[in-house]
Structure 1
Amino acid sequence: MSCLIALAFVPAACNRSSTETTPAAASTAPSPAAAAVAKAAAYTDQDISDAWIYLLGRLLVLRQQKADLAEGWKWNTMIHRKPGAVDWPNPNLDVAYSEAWVAVDENNCTLVTVPKVTGRYYTVQFLNGWGETVANINERTQAAHPSGEFAVCLQGANVKLPANTTRIDVPVKYMRVLARVELGDNWDEAVALQHKFSMRSTGAPTPPTLPAFPDFDVQHLPGVEAFESAPAVLDSEKDINAGMEGLEAKARAIAEGIRDPAERARVEKVVREKAQADLAKAGALIGHGTTKNGWVRPHAAGTYGDDWLGRTLVNLGGIWANRLDEVIYYKSSMDGDGVQLNGDHVYTLTFPKDALPPTFANYFWSVIAVDPIHARVLPNPKNRFLLNRESGLKYGDDGSLTLYFAAEKPADAPDSNWLPTPKGKDYRLTFRFYGPKGGVADGTYFPPPLVKRS
């Protein structure tokens, strides 16, 4: 069975057998409470599916945190990445990234230095352990003082701060940080600015102890073992969104129930056969998104409210997404006829003169091609990974813009308008509008359909 599920990022059929259990779990005698849970059928198959998908959203962030810390990251210290040198799904290749894990507490804040940036997009984004954006530092959120010294503090913290410091309160103690600086047409200038961003703690906050959780990757998502660690995982980071108590309770009840071997086998079967299928099905619309012209616009990104399904899908297919007022992401794996994009074919994407991409972005736009499983950009001989306003694009005599996607450059395509795609392989596209405006901002606009020429 194919593992390439359009826009789902969920190769469910590539997981381990539904009969697999760990030796420790198989030999553990059920507690009276576990037996009671199993006997009373306290949760339905749908409850198991919902709780597993919900919990996966947190596990995906923990997985990335564990990988980052294994690299030797130090808390409250910013790492400046070279342009393009990031390792997560759907990277934004229009910006230079700087990254950090931040810890604050009742007695310590993190001081962030932001240089003066003129005529270039930038933001310093803070996300919690569920992938929720809790703060952005930029000229839009801090109009009075968009640069200088900022103190990111836990709400209610009593910390004496340096003079002329802008305090920003956050609801959590531990955060992932992404600073983005637009590369534009002068990468050296952008990188010089990037290195002027910095951070330091006012003291020595205690970093978190990561809970135990199963090893997994996107092709081998965890089964019943996801629930073994559910209580510790849920205790390690409170979900800041209201209304999640029911899902948390289900996850904890299942964690207790699977101590009974028969119930463990049942939950494993439901996860493999239903939960992962539910996740894959939801992936087509990124949960509750909308679609037109073969493009999908997410219902939520960066902040999710009660859309826990969308949050898990975004964490799986494009972790660290920012808020929709910062950027809108459209995704497509289909041409205008609803057929999967494949590198054996030539596709065109034509924007009329009165609806060119810059019309809908205050800052910049771009389109990238990624593989449908890991969402990584696709290698090609030209080392060309996106098309954007810096690509030297050629416009038609009528002012329209046509972009080309093909393994080999079409004879009539300007080289600058062509994005190489992998011959014989499926792929998908991600279209970004930074600083969305007009129809992109209000949700009425979708990019034109991709037309298969050959």
Structure 2
Amino acid sequence: MSMAEDIHQTVAQGQQDWAFSVGVQLVVWGLPIVECWKYRLGKVVGHGAQAQGQAINAFQHMRSLSTRASSKFVNSATDFLYSTAVLDLHQGPLVLTAPDFQERWYGLQVLDPYMETLANLGTRTYGRQLPSVVIANRRDQHRVPAQATVIYSDSDFLYVVGRIAAGDHEDLSAVNALQDGLRLTPLHGADHPGFDLAQVTPGSCAPLRAGDSSCPAELAFFEELGAVLKFVPPSASEGMLLGLMADVGISVENGFAHQSLAPAVREGLARAVVQATAILQGKVFERGELNNGWKLPGAIGNYGHDYILRALVSLHGIWANVAEESLYFMAWTDCEGNLLHGDNQYEIRFEAGQLPPVEAFWSISYYDDQGRLTDNPQDKYTVNSLYHQLQANADGSTSVFIGKAPVAPPFAGNWLPSHSGYFNLNLRCYNPGPALLSGQYRVAPIVRIQGQ
């Protein structure tokens, strides 16, 4: 090999390795942003004749509890009905109003396009009745009345995820009526008759990949990221990312210029997508402290620069909330470290006085190994302390049973049906008390009582 060939090979290898390194970081950083934007496009562009109401700046309601067939998300909760809204503030601030929820638990989570929770409006923060809340881009502060309750954002593109506690099917009509009381209106609608709630920022509904795109499929993620960056650029504290992006042909102004890249750079980026995915799959089981089979992932909801955690949540529960609103304990193994399997029977026994210390309620939900709800004849996916009759044992303890065989009365309400195959559990604690928030409380162990 000549010296010139040796230099060329060294340069190419360096290009590939650097592109790989940068690409992994960009996948981890950008995945949540792309996933949020895809959700937005699905709500706005995918709002066809079957949908009810307006696609943007208005609530869309899930009218029945989640099932395997209806749920589009992994680890979907079945404790409440969702009411969601995709906001576009480019014309000006909006006002959110809500009905009197009386004694029913509810929460309205407001998020920015980086998956950061900006505010929670609900039972914990305001009680049964919300005030009118202004939601505004920070540039419009001068338009907001001085005494208003306001949520400011640095972006026009926000999400509202509403959750209203719901029990069985007989309870749904009451919850549906509350959903219908949620409203979004222009702050200055009377003064600005041209304000069109249904109008989106120009260009923001374009597909992330054009139908005639020449970008190779293995680089599709970077094309999608480049398209989103035009509307959701790195924050002011993330300026260093702009230089890294430029090294691999990505800019806020022009998206992903894959045609200009050397073959070695394209190869490095393609490898980065595969390896970043594998890294995140491993990190799911690495993050958080393990106790009695349960893991608490970390400071969910406000991620700062913890891009790994943010990416993990985007894959396993994109709208997860901050700890003060809800804690999420996840389990893939029993207390002895064995993977949970539906052919076995398990007991989670909370000793007397040791039920999860919450201000609202708690639930334990069952998912298959892909994080999806599983069909069962009882249509029961969750044991819920608010709506299920949980029978205490003679000594005052309370057991939750997991297995294929129904549990005889009076403990039928304590039973969670299983199915063949590996599964995982999610313990959700809504409005957790101080012992949970401080880490002092330890969740009861998951004990295998029958099986292998």
Normalized against structure 1, the TM-score is what? Answer: 0.80
CA contact (8 A) 1:314 1:321 kept: yes
Which of the residues 24, 32, 39 maps onto 1:64?
39
How far is the alpha carbon of 1:140 from its aligned partner?
4.2
Q: Which amino acid aligns with 1:52?
A: V
Looking at structure 2, the residues matched to 281 and 245 of structure 1 have their Cα atoms a distance apart, in angstroms, of: 28
Counterpart Cα distance in 1 of 2:249 and 2:368: 34
- Measured against aligned partners, the alpha-carbon deviations of 1:318-351 in whole angstroms (never above 9, x if no partner) come to 0111111110011111111111111111111110
Report deviation, 1:104.
0.9
Q: 2:230 aligns with which of 213, 235, 240?
A: 235
TM-superposed CA distance for 1:55, in Å, is: 1.6
Q: 2:167 & 2:242 partners in 1: Cα distance?
A: 44
The 3 A distance-change label for structure 1 pair 79 and 312 is same
CA distance 1:315–1:391, shift in 2 (3 Å): same
1:166 corresponds to which residue? 149
Q: Distance in 2 between matches of 1:126 and 1:88?
A: 18
Q: What is the CA RMSD across the aligned residues, in angstroms?
A: 2.9
1:246 counterpart (234, 240, 247): 240
What's the counterpart of residue 94 of structure 1? 79
Residue 9 of structure 1 corresponds to: none
Residues 180, 159 of structure 1: CA spacing in aligned structure 2 closer, same or farther, 3 A cutoff?
farther
**1:27 alignment counterpart:** none
- Number of the residue aligned with 1:279: 280
Q: Go from structure 1 to structure 2 and tell me whether the alpha carbon gap of 1:324 and 1:415 turns closer, same or farther (over 3 Å shift).
A: same
Give the 3 Å change call, closer, same or farther, for CA 210–338 of structure 1 in structure 2.
farther
Q: 1:194 to 1:228 in 2, by over 3 A?
A: closer
Q: Structure 1 residues 372 and 59 mapped into 2: Cα distance closer, same or farther (>3 Å)?
A: farther
* Worse overlay, 435-444 or 412-421: 412-421
Please, which of 263, 266, 271 is the counterpart of residue 264 of structure 1? 266
- 1:118-156 CA-to-partner distances (Å, cap 9, x unmatched) read 33222221112222212222354457x952422211113
Q: Which residue of 1 aligns with 2:196?
A: 204
The answer as to whether partners of 1:231 and 1:255 remain within 8 angstroms in 2 is no
Match of 2:62 in 1: 81
Match of 1:428 in 2: 424
1:266/1:149 CA distance change after superposition, 3 Å: closer
Question: Which sits farther off after the overlay, 155-164 or 133-142?
Answer: 155-164
8 Å Cα contact 1:369-1:430 kept in structure 2: yes
Q: Is the 8 A contact 2:19 2:248 kept in 1?
A: no
What CA deviation, in whole Å up to 9, does each residue of 1:358-415 have, x standing for no partner? xx11001101111222x22111011111101221111100110111111222569822
3-state SS in 2 of match to 1:380: coil
Alpha-carbon contact 1:211-1:233 (below 8 Å) kept: no
| 1:308 Cα offset (Å) | 1.0
**2:63–2:172 CA contact under 8 A, matched in 1:** no
Do the aligned partners of 1:43 and 1:250 also contact (CA within 8 Å) in 2?
no
Answer yes or no: is the 8 Å Cα contact 2:112–2:153 preserved in 1. Answer: no
Separation in 1 of the partners of 2:331 and 2:145?
A: 48
Point out where structure 1 has 5 or more consecutive residues left out of the alignment: 1-34, 216-221
Specify the alignment match of 2:294 in structure 1.
Answer: 295
The one of 150, 159, 175 aligned to 2:133: 150
1:52 touches 1:251 (CA, 8 Å); kept in 2? Answer: no
> The residue matched to 1:408 in structure 2 has which SS?
coil
C-alpha change, 1:154 and 1:378, in structure 2 (3 Å) is same
SS in 2 for 1:361: coil
Using structure 2 for the length normalisation, give the TM-score. 0.81
Offset from partner CA, 1:256-313 (integer Å, 9 cap, x none) = 59622232123323432x322211111114xx42221111102121111111111111
**8 Å Cα contact 1:404/1:413 also seen in 2:** no
Q: Secondary structure at the match of 2:227?
A: helix
**Residue number in structure 1 paired with 2:214:** none
For the residue of structure 1 that corresponds to 2:330, the secondary structure is strand
- Work out the CA distance in 1 between the residues paired with 2:404 and 2:246: 49
Alpha-carbon deviations, 1:407-443, whole Å to 9, x = none? 22256982211111112x1111111000011321112
Q: CA deviation at 1:44?
A: 6.3
* Match in the other structure for 2:219: 224
Specify whether residues 350 and 252 from structure 1 end up closer, same or farther in structure 2 by C-alpha distance, changes over 3 A only.
farther
- Per the TM alignment, residue 165 of structure 1 is displaced from its structure 2 partner at its CA by 5.3
CA distance in 2, matches of 1:163, 1:231: 38
Distance in 1, Cα, partners of 2:360 & 2:327: 12
Query: How far apart are 1:231 and its partner, in Å?
Result: 3.1
> Using the alignment, how far apart are the partners of 2:141 and 2:196 within structure 1?
15
Return the alpha-carbon distance in structure 1 between the equivalents of residues 126 and 338 of structure 2: 45
Aligned match for 1:408, one of 371, 391, 405? 405
Aligned to 1:308: 307
Find the aligned partners of 1:320 and 1:329 in 2 and give their Cα distance: 12
State the 1:233 CA deviation.
Answer: 2.4
Residues 61 and 82 in structure 2, CA contact (< 8 A), matched pair in contact too: yes
Maintained 8 Å contact 2:293/2:335: yes
User: Are the counterparts in 2 of residues 110 and 151 from structure 1 also a CA contact under 8 Å?
Assistant: yes
Change (3 A) 1:411 1:122: closer
1:110 aligns with 2:94: yes
Q: Give the counterpart of 2:112 among 117, 122, 128.
A: 128
Matches within 5 A, 1:319-334: 319-334=318-333
Rounded Cα–Cα distance in structure 1 between residues aligned with 2:434 and 2:183 = 34
C-alpha distance in 1, partners of 2:288/2:15? 36
Whole-angstrom distance in 1 between the partners of 2:155 and 2:177:
31
Distance 1:162 1:45, change over 3 A: closer
Give the equivalent residue in structure 1 for 2:4: none
Q: Which residue of 1 aligns with 2:179?
A: 194
Partner of 1:43: 18
